[in-house]
Structure 1
């Protein structure tokens, strides 16, 4: 476009959120012998001084470009998260007062050295608990971030209750109480920190993870300030044991209730074990794909580890994905002939291996123990892991639309028919797997992030051994 026709041009300036702030109108004007461009600036009503001031205050606590720069569930989560932080700040003041009483503030016989040693003991136990908890459950924090985000606050609230109980116990018993509370807070720190990191990565859309975390810290700071202000008023009027406990349980109820609402508001797009159960069983049985929003309303916050369910029914079995080969062999040899000097003797592992030739995993279902064992081969991808979990659902459920033999699968003994059933279920899945993946991707599911393994897994390299 140009001004050659004499028609004015319009330029609309927008902020990072896409809202128009000003309009610039360019029109031709003659100044002496020169032809110049004249610009008229038209401010939008939203760019008034009062609006800009309010917008500046809000932008100090929200990511730049909000709401386009975050996911749709960000605001609802942050509202509930702010409410829980507010109630937790007030409850924390009540717990802190109880701790001060427990260590002897106001007691002439109390020793500062004893209080310092108690603090050292608490810190030491907390740090040891942090290392052990991170080692034991570190791999499961991201796939189950919603559960651990809520569990972290349960740990923290239990620690507050112990702190408030401490003045009622003898001085020696308080050491154990304070140490236990310190361990619970350490568990809270690991679970909350890791889960919030995963949630922040989920909320960030435009590579703004660092800024989103910074704004989240600003939100927590202002909420904590308000919480301490209100808490200072509360603790000055709450002094009797009855009123203290009544106030504490009211605040903790609000804290846990808003935390539960916060994690329920989050719509994760990765397929962990529970979400894979819901999505895959519905897809296979009804040929209908569920969106992340629908699955978010159906999933449980607390789910048993490795449970296999079909359409949210009762637990059918338990699955271990990425397990060592030894566990599969132990199960496979249970009803097989055993040689006296051979730990694992089976005539059927070769047949099972042949079924999964060309696949990135090996699967076996022990129906007596209701256990599925999935051994992942070296180089298995995220989609291969998802395929293995789908296969486990088919095998455990025992009947699949489109299978040549839809009878109930039974593995009481290793028979050719049973092995053929595994082969048929794999063939059924392989013929439809690419279409399943395309459908899941179109529905908005993230198929590039691994979320099925919650423990450090093993990988199997298959090859011939030379002597």
Structure 2
């Protein structure tokens, strides 16, 4: 079998298979010509390979630690000892599964609709908090798979990820069995190995999500992009935004001021600025509150949030708030969205929490009505 490469620009690889009874009696049996770039770069995003590399490494550390944990658990319930009882071992194993299931139920109730909006953050949280991984990891994995699939090949990517995880599991179990055998009977060695693998697991996980350059718009990415556009007139690439984006959850400071409920008497002074929109804004207590109409579309929600960010930015500079924000939206919003699309961002919607409160209002010749 021989492989040749012709032309650096095309980077095509030809693989030929020859068969025969001797070196002088060979015949060509198969020819395969392929371009590596066509197999990868055109079907997945550039951040796919580094993410999968770090994700595989953290998976390996997980399975090795699982072997050490299983060995310690079986030893704790008396496996190999004459005094061990079947009912005692069964009860302890049941308690382990029960605590994991209860944790998953509680987490679903608390954060179910927020996982798609902050996929990177919750992917990291899922691996740090192993008891909740079944909920958060599965939900964010679907969002990341859609991000990677440039050619609408999400099923193909999912299948390959499954094969990769199976291979990592087999390799991790083998290495774990070897390490468990080496550290058997040495408690200090088990603890040092487990803690070292845990630290490496968290580091690899952090590097995996840090390598992601998502093109969807959530609260923080929208804010970073808008701030740069208002200051410089340009748009950052997804890779540049990724370097500024916070990953750890306790660094996120976004308050839920989108789609809130407020008595209608507080909004009469600002409604005239939003007569043609399916939303309106209210600045109150140093915060910008956003009201969403019942008939508002996903693009209306995105526009309302950008409008709110513009209003907050102008208020910090002691400008005249609503009128200047209205002028900015009328003159520059479409340009901003067009530049985002050129850089590859998805501008169809804003990834946000579920909007519970939606209002209905109508305009009359001399009054407004809000419900």
TM-score interval (norm. to shorter) = 0.7 to 0.9
Give the C-alpha shift of residue 393 in structure 1.
Answer: 2.0
Q: In structure 2, which of residues 307, 318, 323 is the aligned counterpart of residue 391 of structure 1?
A: 307
Residues 122-145 of structure 1: CA distance to partner in whole angstroms, max 9, x if unpaired? 434433332331232121111111
Aligned equivalent of 1:195: 140
Q: Secondary structure at the match of 2:44?
A: coil
Q: Which range is displaced more, 142-151 or 424-433?
A: 424-433
Residue 462 (1) aligns with residue 349 (2): no
Q: Which residue of 2 aligns with 1:153?
A: 127
Q: Per-residue CA shift, 1:106-128, capped at 9, x if unaligned?
A: 34444322332343344344333
User: Paired residue for 1:320?
Assistant: 257
State the alpha-carbon separation in 1 of the partners of residues 77 and 139 from structure 2. 32
CA distance in 1, matches of 2:72, 2:295: 55
Q: Deviations over 1:41-64 (max 9, x none)?
A: xxx3x34479x99x9xxxxxx9x9
Native 8 Å contact 1:274 1:303 kept in 2: no
Question: Paired residue for 1:222?
Answer: 167
Structure 1 counterpart of 2:281, from 354, 363, 377? 363
- Residues in 2 aligned to 1:228 and 1:49: alpha-carbon distance in whole angstroms: 38
Give the counterpart of 2:79 among 105, 108, 116.
105
DSSP 3-state at the match of 2:248: coil
Alignment correspondent of 1:312: none
What count of residue pairs does the alignment treat as equivalent? 341
Q: 1:456 to 1:376 in 2, by over 3 A?
A: closer
Deviation, structure 1 residue 436? 1.3
Uncovered stretches (5+) of structure 1, i.e. residues with no partner:
1-17, 22-43, 56-61, 157-183, 309-317, 330-343, 401-406, 410-419
Is residue 120–residue 247 contact of structure 2 (8 Å, CA) maintained in 1? yes
- 1:268 corresponding residue in structure 2: 214
1:14 aligns with none
Task: Please tell me whether Structure 1 or Structure 2 has the larger radius of gyration of its CA atoms.
Answer: 1
Which residue is equivalent to 1:376?
Answer: 292
Q: Does the 8 A contact of 2:65 with 2:197 survive in 1?
A: yes
Cα gap change, 1:456/1:398 in structure 2, threshold over 3 Å: closer, same or farther? Answer: closer
TM-superposed CA distance for 1:192, in Å, is: 1.0
Task: Supply the distance in 1 between the matched residues of 2:171 and 2:113 (Cα, whole angstroms).
Answer: 36
Are 1:375 and 1:459, in contact at CA under 8 Å, matched by a contact in 2? yes
Separation of aligned partners in 2, 1:137 and 1:65: 37
Name stretches of at least 5 consecutive residues in structure 2 with no aligned partner: 1-9, 20-28, 363-367
Residue 349 (str. 1) matches residue 302 (str. 2): no
The one of 160, 173, 176 aligned to 1:231: 176
Task: Indicate yes or no: 2:91 matched with 1:117.
Answer: yes
Go from structure 1 to structure 2 and tell me whether the alpha carbon gap of 1:120 and 1:234 turns closer, same or farther (over 3 Å shift): closer
Distance apart, 1:319 and its partner CA:
4.8
* CA RMSD of superposed structures (Å): 2.9
Please name the residue that 1:78 is paired with: 52
Q: 1:371 and 1:123, CA in 2 relative to 1: closer, same or farther beyond 3 A?
A: farther
* TM-score scaled by length of structure 1: 0.66
CA displacement at 1:306 relative to structure 2: 6.8
Cα distance in 2 between the residues matched to 1:263 and 1:49:
44
Q: 2:39 aligns with which of 65, 80, 83?
A: 65
Deviation at 1:190, TM superposition (A): 0.8
Q: Which runs of 4 or more aligned residues in structure 1 lie more than 4 Å from their structure 2 counterparts after TM superposition?
A: 18-21, 303-306
Aligned-partner Cα distance in 2 for 1:449–1:399: 25
Partner of 1:432: 332
Equivalent residue number for residue 284 of structure 1: 230
**CA distance in structure 1 between the aligned counterparts of 2:78 and 2:293, rounded to whole angstroms:** 60
What corresponds to 1:257 in structure 2? 203
The one-character-per-residue Cα deviations of 1:214-236 (angstroms, maximum 9, x if unpaired) are 11011011111111111111111
